[in-house]
Amino acid sequence: MGEANYPADLKYHREHDWVRLEGDEAVFGITWFAQDALGEVVYFDAPDVGAAVVADDAYAELESVKAVSDVYAPLSGEVTAVNDAVSTSPGLVNSDPYGEGWLVRVRLSDPSQVDGLMDQAAYTQYLEGLS
């Protein structure tokens, strides 16, 4: 799991999701803080490719040894790919949350929503406010 880290090239949502922007698409995952709070992730209930996701709404479930938790979409769009590796090995979310542990790739319907997300500095400050 390693130490807490929040890469500077990502955007962050208050429900502890990250976004990597790649043109008109984006990759979603959950942050180090989220995976640490969940504990060992044991199941990924993924959306279907082609499913619509709506910013601030749940689009998937992650089950840890503690509980089943909703995963919230930081931005709206349509799912173009799902990380099957996480379905097979859910622990990737813990071991590499920003890399192999990515969850879905989404074609964005409203890229301007990015303005509502936090950057690294704002998110780490937000986390300090929570503790």
Partner 1 sequence: MTAATGNPLQHEAVVTIYEKSRPGRRAYVAPPADVPERPLDELLPAALRRERPARLPQVSEPEIVRHFVRLSKRNFDLDSGFYPLGSCTMKHNPKLHERAAALPGHSRLHPLQADEHAQGALELMFNLQHALAEVAGLPHVSLQPSAGSHGELAGVLLTRAYHEARGDQREIVLTPNTAHGTNPATVTMAGYRVVNVGTAPDGGVDLDDLRAKISDRVACLMLTNPSTLGLFDSNIAEISRIVHDAGATLYYDGANLNAVMGICRPGDMGFDIVHFNLHKSFTQPHGGGGPGAGPIAVSDRIAPFLPVPVVAKDGDRFRLDHDRPQSIGRLRGFHGNYGVFVRSYAYICSLGAEGIARTARAAVLNANYLKALLARPGIAEHLPVAYDRHCMHEFVLSGAPMKRDLGIRTLDLAKRLLDHGFHPPTVYFPQLVEESLLVEPTETETRETMEAFADAVAEILAEAKADPSVAREAPYTTPVRRLDEAAAARNPVVRQPMD
Q: Enumerate residues 32-61 that contact partner 1 by CB under 8 A.
A: 37, 39, 42-43
Q: Which is nearer to partner 1, 8 or 65 (CB)?
A: 65
Q: Which of 22, 66, 116, 125 binds partner 1 (CB under 8 A)?
A: 66
Contact between 65 and partner 1 (CB under 8 A)?
yes
Contact between 85 and partner 1 (CB under 8 A)?
no
Could you write out the three-class secondary structure of the chain? CCCCCCCCCCEEECCCEEEEEECCEEEEEECHHHHHHHCCEEEEECCCCCCEECCCCEEEEEEECCCEEEEECCCCEEEEEECHHHHHCCCHHHHCCCCCCCCEEEEECCHHHHHHCECHHHHHHHHHHHC
Contact between 84 and partner 1 (CB under 8 A)?
no
Contact between 107 and partner 1 (CB under 8 A)?
no
Stretch that binds partner 1, among 25-33, 48-56, 62-70, 71-79 (CB under 8 A): 62-70
Binding site for partner 1 (CB under 8 A): 37, 39, 42-43, 63, 65-67, 90
